[in-house]
Amino acid sequence: MEHPEQPLAGAYFVPAPSCWPALGALALFCLGLGAALAVNAMAWGGGLLLLGALCLLRMLVGWFGDVIGENQQGCYRQQEDLSFRWGMGWFIFSEVMLFAACFGVLFWLRLVALPTLGSLDYKWLYPDFSPSWPLQTAPQPTQSYRAMEAWGLPAFNTLILLTSGATLTWAHWGLLQGRRRQLQAGLLCTFSLGGLFLLLQAFEYHHAWTAWRLTLSAGAYGMTFYLLTGLHGLHVLLGSLILLVVWRRVRRGHFDRQHHFAFEAAAWYWHFVDVVWLLLFVLVYCL
Protein backbone atom coordinates (compact mmCIF):
# COMPACT_ATOMS: atom_id res chain seq x y z
CA MET A 1 0.00 0.00 0.00
CA GLU A 2 1.08 3.49 -0.70
CA HIS A 3 2.06 5.68 2.17
CA PRO A 4 -0.70 8.12 2.94
CA GLU A 5 0.39 11.69 2.87
CA GLN A 6 -0.26 14.07 5.67
CA PRO A 7 -3.88 15.20 5.44
CA LEU A 8 -4.96 18.78 5.06
CA ALA A 9 -5.97 20.76 8.09
CA GLY A 10 -9.67 20.23 8.67
CA ALA A 11 -9.82 17.37 6.20
CA TYR A 12 -11.01 13.91 7.12
CA PHE A 13 -8.66 11.03 6.52
CA VAL A 14 -9.80 8.90 3.60
CA PRO A 15 -7.55 5.89 3.17
CA ALA A 16 -5.89 4.98 -0.11
CA PRO A 17 -7.27 2.01 -2.07
CA SER A 18 -6.70 -1.20 -0.19
CA CYS A 19 -6.56 -4.85 -1.10
CA TRP A 20 -7.65 -6.09 2.33
CA PRO A 21 -11.44 -5.91 1.89
CA ALA A 22 -11.26 -8.02 -1.27
CA LEU A 23 -9.06 -10.55 0.49
CA GLY A 24 -11.53 -10.54 3.38
CA ALA A 25 -14.39 -11.25 0.99
CA LEU A 26 -12.46 -14.17 -0.49
CA ALA A 27 -11.74 -15.42 3.04
CA LEU A 28 -15.40 -15.41 4.06
CA PHE A 29 -16.39 -17.09 0.80
CA CYS A 30 -13.94 -19.91 1.48
CA LEU A 31 -15.09 -20.13 5.10
CA GLY A 32 -18.76 -20.20 4.15
CA LEU A 33 -18.39 -22.76 1.36
CA GLY A 34 -15.91 -24.79 3.37
CA ALA A 35 -18.18 -24.87 6.41
CA ALA A 36 -21.19 -25.92 4.31
CA LEU A 37 -19.14 -28.76 2.81
CA ALA A 38 -17.55 -29.71 6.13
CA VAL A 39 -20.81 -30.03 8.10
CA ASN A 40 -22.00 -32.41 5.40
CA ALA A 41 -18.73 -34.36 5.58
CA MET A 42 -17.97 -33.62 1.94
CA ALA A 43 -14.60 -33.37 0.23
CA TRP A 44 -12.70 -30.05 0.25
CA GLY A 45 -14.60 -28.77 3.29
CA GLY A 46 -11.71 -28.84 5.73
CA GLY A 47 -9.25 -27.55 3.17
CA LEU A 48 -11.44 -24.62 2.23
CA LEU A 49 -12.01 -23.80 5.89
CA LEU A 50 -8.28 -23.75 6.48
CA LEU A 51 -7.67 -21.62 3.40
CA GLY A 52 -10.40 -19.21 4.45
CA ALA A 53 -9.02 -18.96 7.97
CA LEU A 54 -5.53 -18.25 6.65
CA CYS A 55 -6.83 -15.58 4.27
CA LEU A 56 -8.83 -14.02 7.09
CA LEU A 57 -5.81 -14.03 9.38
CA ARG A 58 -3.64 -12.45 6.69
CA MET A 59 -6.32 -9.82 6.08
CA LEU A 60 -6.68 -8.98 9.76
CA VAL A 61 -2.93 -8.66 10.25
CA GLY A 62 -2.56 -6.54 7.12
CA TRP A 63 -5.61 -4.38 7.69
CA PHE A 64 -4.96 -3.63 11.35
CA GLY A 65 -1.31 -3.17 10.47
CA ASP A 66 -2.32 -0.44 8.01
CA VAL A 67 -4.58 1.19 10.58
CA ILE A 68 -1.85 1.16 13.23
CA GLY A 69 0.64 2.55 10.72
CA GLU A 70 -1.70 5.37 9.73
CA ASN A 71 -2.30 6.10 13.38
CA GLN A 72 1.45 6.27 14.08
CA GLN A 73 1.85 8.69 11.18
CA GLY A 74 -0.70 10.98 12.73
CA CYS A 75 -3.41 10.54 10.12
CA TYR A 76 -6.08 10.20 12.78
CA ARG A 77 -7.05 13.27 14.70
CA GLN A 78 -10.04 14.23 16.75
CA GLN A 79 -12.74 13.62 14.17
CA GLU A 80 -11.33 10.28 13.04
CA ASP A 81 -10.91 9.29 16.68
CA LEU A 82 -14.57 10.04 17.31
CA SER A 83 -15.55 7.90 14.31
CA PHE A 84 -13.68 4.96 15.80
CA ARG A 85 -15.41 5.51 19.14
CA TRP A 86 -18.88 5.55 17.60
CA GLY A 87 -18.00 2.59 15.39
CA MET A 88 -16.84 0.48 18.33
CA GLY A 89 -19.88 1.48 20.36
CA TRP A 90 -22.29 0.40 17.63
CA PHE A 91 -20.36 -2.81 17.09
CA ILE A 92 -20.77 -3.64 20.77
CA PHE A 93 -24.45 -2.80 20.49
CA SER A 94 -24.79 -5.38 17.71
CA GLU A 95 -23.10 -7.91 20.01
CA VAL A 96 -25.53 -6.99 22.78
CA MET A 97 -28.39 -7.83 20.43
CA LEU A 98 -26.80 -11.17 19.53
CA PHE A 99 -26.60 -12.12 23.20
CA ALA A 100 -30.08 -10.72 23.80
CA ALA A 101 -31.44 -13.13 21.17
CA CYS A 102 -29.71 -16.06 22.83
CA PHE A 103 -30.92 -15.07 26.30
CA GLY A 104 -34.37 -14.65 24.77
CA VAL A 105 -34.19 -18.28 23.65
CA LEU A 106 -33.37 -19.35 27.21
CA PHE A 107 -36.23 -17.30 28.65
CA TRP A 108 -38.71 -18.57 26.10
CA LEU A 109 -37.80 -22.19 26.71
CA ARG A 110 -37.86 -21.87 30.49
CA LEU A 111 -40.90 -19.66 30.86
CA VAL A 112 -43.12 -20.79 27.97
CA ALA A 113 -42.07 -23.88 26.07
CA LEU A 114 -41.05 -26.23 28.89
CA PRO A 115 -43.97 -25.43 31.24
CA THR A 116 -46.27 -26.10 28.30
CA LEU A 117 -44.59 -29.41 27.56
CA GLY A 118 -44.93 -30.34 31.22
CA SER A 119 -48.57 -29.30 31.45
CA LEU A 120 -51.55 -31.60 31.53
CA ASP A 121 -52.14 -31.07 27.80
CA TYR A 122 -48.95 -32.91 26.95
CA LYS A 123 -49.17 -35.75 29.46
CA TRP A 124 -50.36 -38.12 26.74
CA LEU A 125 -47.24 -37.34 24.73
CA TYR A 126 -44.56 -37.01 27.44
CA PRO A 127 -46.07 -38.67 30.53
CA ASP A 128 -42.89 -38.62 32.64
CA PHE A 129 -41.63 -35.15 31.75
CA SER A 130 -41.17 -32.65 34.55
CA PRO A 131 -40.22 -29.11 33.55
CA SER A 132 -38.31 -28.26 36.75
CA TRP A 133 -35.06 -26.43 36.06
CA PRO A 134 -32.36 -27.57 35.67
CA LEU A 135 -34.07 -30.14 33.56
CA GLN A 136 -33.34 -33.69 34.62
CA THR A 137 -34.21 -35.08 31.18
CA ALA A 138 -35.49 -33.89 27.85
CA PRO A 139 -39.21 -34.56 27.22
CA GLN A 140 -38.13 -37.53 25.14
CA PRO A 141 -35.01 -38.59 27.04
CA THR A 142 -31.97 -39.51 25.00
CA GLN A 143 -29.41 -39.80 27.76
CA SER A 144 -29.12 -39.15 31.46
CA TYR A 145 -26.84 -36.31 32.47
CA ARG A 146 -25.88 -34.13 35.39
CA ALA A 147 -26.60 -30.41 35.39
CA MET A 148 -23.94 -27.79 36.10
CA GLU A 149 -23.34 -26.49 39.59
CA ALA A 150 -22.80 -22.81 40.13
CA TRP A 151 -20.63 -22.74 43.22
CA GLY A 152 -17.66 -24.73 42.06
CA LEU A 153 -15.62 -23.82 39.05
CA PRO A 154 -18.15 -21.34 37.56
CA ALA A 155 -18.01 -19.19 40.70
CA PHE A 156 -14.22 -19.24 40.51
CA ASN A 157 -14.44 -18.23 36.84
CA THR A 158 -16.69 -15.34 37.87
CA LEU A 159 -14.03 -14.23 40.32
CA ILE A 160 -11.39 -14.49 37.58
CA LEU A 161 -13.31 -12.34 35.14
CA LEU A 162 -14.18 -9.73 37.77
CA THR A 163 -10.53 -9.57 38.80
CA SER A 164 -9.53 -9.20 35.14
CA GLY A 165 -11.83 -6.21 34.86
CA ALA A 166 -10.09 -4.67 37.87
CA THR A 167 -6.59 -5.35 36.54
CA LEU A 168 -7.58 -3.80 33.22
CA THR A 169 -8.76 -0.65 34.98
CA TRP A 170 -5.52 -0.63 36.95
CA ALA A 171 -3.63 -0.80 33.65
CA HIS A 172 -5.74 2.07 32.34
CA TRP A 173 -4.80 4.19 35.37
CA GLY A 174 -1.18 3.39 34.66
CA LEU A 175 -1.61 4.60 31.08
CA LEU A 176 -3.36 7.78 32.15
CA GLN A 177 -0.63 8.59 34.67
CA GLY A 178 2.21 7.63 32.40
CA ARG A 179 3.28 4.61 34.42
CA ARG A 180 4.10 2.29 31.55
CA ARG A 181 5.25 -0.62 33.72
CA GLN A 182 1.93 -0.65 35.53
CA LEU A 183 0.18 -0.50 32.15
CA GLN A 184 2.14 -3.46 30.84
CA ALA A 185 1.73 -5.48 33.99
CA GLY A 186 -2.00 -4.78 34.16
CA LEU A 187 -2.52 -5.80 30.56
CA LEU A 188 -0.49 -8.94 31.01
CA CYS A 189 -2.52 -9.82 34.12
CA THR A 190 -5.78 -9.25 32.29
CA PHE A 191 -4.70 -11.30 29.31
CA SER A 192 -3.49 -14.10 31.55
CA LEU A 193 -6.70 -14.11 33.56
CA GLY A 194 -8.64 -14.31 30.29
CA GLY A 195 -6.48 -17.24 29.24
CA LEU A 196 -6.95 -18.92 32.60
CA PHE A 197 -10.71 -18.45 32.30
CA LEU A 198 -10.68 -20.12 28.90
CA LEU A 199 -8.56 -23.01 30.16
CA LEU A 200 -10.90 -23.58 33.07
CA GLN A 201 -13.90 -23.39 30.82
CA ALA A 202 -12.34 -25.91 28.46
CA PHE A 203 -11.75 -28.16 31.45
CA GLU A 204 -15.35 -27.62 32.58
CA TYR A 205 -16.69 -28.43 29.11
CA HIS A 206 -14.59 -31.56 28.89
CA HIS A 207 -15.73 -32.74 32.28
CA ALA A 208 -19.39 -31.95 31.63
CA TRP A 209 -19.33 -33.55 28.19
CA THR A 210 -17.58 -36.79 29.13
CA ALA A 211 -18.08 -37.42 32.84
CA TRP A 212 -21.51 -35.83 33.27
CA ARG A 213 -22.70 -36.72 29.76
CA LEU A 214 -24.07 -33.24 29.34
CA THR A 215 -23.88 -32.78 25.55
CA LEU A 216 -25.52 -30.56 22.98
CA SER A 217 -28.03 -33.34 22.30
CA ALA A 218 -29.01 -33.64 25.98
CA GLY A 219 -32.03 -31.42 25.40
CA ALA A 220 -33.02 -27.91 26.40
CA TYR A 221 -30.70 -27.65 29.38
CA GLY A 222 -27.54 -28.76 27.61
CA MET A 223 -28.12 -26.85 24.40
CA THR A 224 -28.87 -23.51 26.06
CA PHE A 225 -25.90 -24.02 28.38
CA TYR A 226 -23.51 -24.58 25.48
CA LEU A 227 -25.10 -21.90 23.31
CA LEU A 228 -24.72 -19.15 25.88
CA THR A 229 -21.44 -20.13 27.51
CA GLY A 230 -19.93 -21.10 24.17
CA LEU A 231 -20.82 -17.82 22.52
CA HIS A 232 -19.44 -16.00 25.54
CA GLY A 233 -16.29 -18.09 25.48
CA LEU A 234 -15.65 -17.13 21.86
CA HIS A 235 -15.94 -13.49 22.89
CA VAL A 236 -13.44 -13.99 25.73
CA LEU A 237 -11.11 -15.55 23.19
CA LEU A 238 -11.47 -12.60 20.84
CA GLY A 239 -11.12 -10.12 23.71
CA SER A 240 -7.95 -11.85 24.88
CA LEU A 241 -6.44 -11.67 21.40
CA ILE A 242 -7.28 -7.97 21.23
CA LEU A 243 -5.61 -7.45 24.61
CA LEU A 244 -2.58 -9.35 23.38
CA VAL A 245 -2.27 -7.01 20.40
CA VAL A 246 -2.69 -3.97 22.64
CA TRP A 247 -0.04 -5.32 24.99
CA ARG A 248 2.41 -5.78 22.13
CA ARG A 249 1.70 -2.26 20.95
CA VAL A 250 2.37 -0.94 24.44
CA ARG A 251 5.72 -2.75 24.41
CA ARG A 252 6.57 -0.99 21.18
CA GLY A 253 5.87 2.34 22.79
CA HIS A 254 2.52 3.07 21.17
CA PHE A 255 -0.16 5.13 22.97
CA ASP A 256 0.19 8.18 25.16
CA ARG A 257 -1.98 9.71 27.85
CA GLN A 258 -4.28 11.42 25.39
CA HIS A 259 -4.33 9.05 22.42
CA HIS A 260 -4.95 5.43 23.17
CA PHE A 261 -8.32 4.53 21.71
CA ALA A 262 -7.19 1.03 20.77
CA PHE A 263 -6.66 0.42 24.47
CA GLU A 264 -10.02 1.90 25.37
CA ALA A 265 -11.84 -0.09 22.68
CA ALA A 266 -10.27 -3.27 24.01
CA ALA A 267 -11.33 -2.25 27.52
CA TRP A 268 -14.91 -1.53 26.41
CA TYR A 269 -15.07 -4.90 24.76
CA TRP A 270 -13.58 -6.66 27.77
CA HIS A 271 -16.00 -5.04 30.20
CA PHE A 272 -18.89 -5.91 27.91
CA VAL A 273 -17.80 -9.55 27.91
CA ASP A 274 -17.51 -9.29 31.71
CA VAL A 275 -21.05 -8.03 32.13
CA VAL A 276 -22.38 -10.77 29.86
CA TRP A 277 -20.65 -13.32 32.06
CA LEU A 278 -22.32 -11.92 35.17
CA LEU A 279 -25.71 -12.31 33.50
CA LEU A 280 -24.71 -15.81 32.40
CA PHE A 281 -23.59 -16.77 35.86
CA VAL A 282 -26.88 -15.70 37.39
CA LEU A 283 -29.24 -16.83 34.64
CA VAL A 284 -27.53 -19.98 33.39
CA TYR A 285 -25.67 -21.35 36.40
CA CYS A 286 -27.53 -20.03 39.47
CA LEU A 287 -31.19 -19.77 38.60
- The interface with other proteins within residues 138-157 (CB under 8 A) comprises 138-140, 142
Minimum CB–partner distance for residue 87 and other proteins (Å): 5
Query: Of these, 43, 101, 120, 211, which contacts other proteins (CB under 8 A)?
Result: 101
**Piece of 164-172, 184-192, 209-217, 270-278 that binds other proteins (CB under 8 A):** 209-217
Map the footprint of other proteins across residues 40-79, applying CB under 8 A. 40, 42, 63, 79
Map the footprint of other proteins across residues 157-196, applying CB under 8 A. none
Question: Residues touching other proteins: how many (CB under 8 A)?
Answer: 73
DSSP string, the chain: -PPPPPPPTTPPP-PPP-SHHHHHHHHHHHHHHHHHHHHTT-TTHHHHHHHHHHHHHHHHHHHHHHHHHHHHTT---HHHHHHHHHHHHHHHHHHHHHHHHHHHHHHHIIIIIHHHHHSGGGTTTSTT----SS-SS-SS---------TTTHHHHHHHHHHHHHHHHHHHHHHHHTT-HHHHHHHHHHHHHHHHHHHHHHHHHHHIIIIIS---GGG-HHHHHHHHHHHHHHHHHHHHHHHHHHHHHHHHTT---SS--HHHHHHHHHHHHHHHHHHHHIIIIII-
Does the footprint of other proteins cover residue 17 (CB under 8 A)?
Answer: yes
Report the residue number, 46 or 195, with the smaller CB distance to other proteins. Answer: 46
Minimum CB–partner distance for residue 35 and other proteins (Å): 6
Does the footprint of other proteins cover residue 33 (CB under 8 A)?
Answer: yes
Does the footprint of other proteins cover residue 11 (CB under 8 A)?
Answer: yes
